[in-house]
Amino acid sequence: MKSTRTGKITLVLGGARSGKSRFSEDLARAGGLERHYIATSQAFDEEMHARIAQHRADRGDGWVTHEVPLLLLSALQQVARPERIVLVDCLTLWVTNLMMAEAEVDREGAALAESLRKLAGPVIFVSNEVGLGIVPDNRMARAFRDHAGRLHQAVAAVADEVFFIAAGLPLKMKG
């Protein structure tokens, strides 16, 4: 079955609990393709374990899940296929993981963005918009905000569609 989506690469941004994951999952379901979910989160405590379990329950059956905290580009190159739709949730957790691993975040983000048009199938990226609040009060938080903002700009530049979600309502920004 062919996808009904108009774009190959989709970026879905929004604040915490804005409805961006649900919106992205609905987009993926509408395509009629085999669904793959790349989870970038890592559970370091019980609260995060509970969040991950809730996400899995909310998503329901019919997804192949890949846990990929760091090697996102490699995973996408392996998983993306024309008969599949891949949902990556989320880019900001990936940025956090890269920072904690002391990786070159901007280099990794640039490599990801440059590779998107070469992927073999459609991909939906979910990410938290973190640049709408006050300037963070510490160096690491400011670095995180800056890395996330640059990554969002790079992915949005090559994406076919970009949505901003607030209060569960999508605003189509591109495509």
As annotated, the active-site residues are: 55
Instruction: Report the side by side order of strands in the sheet with 34-39.
Output: 63-67, 34-39, 84-89, 123-128, 9-14, 161-166, 169-174
8 Å CB contact between 80 and 120: yes
Distance CA 36, CA 80 (A): 9
Query: What backbone phi and psi angles, to 5 degrees, belong to 16?
Result: -60, 135
Residue ranges of E strands in the chain: 9-14, 34-39, 63-67, 84-89, 123-128, 161-166, 169-174
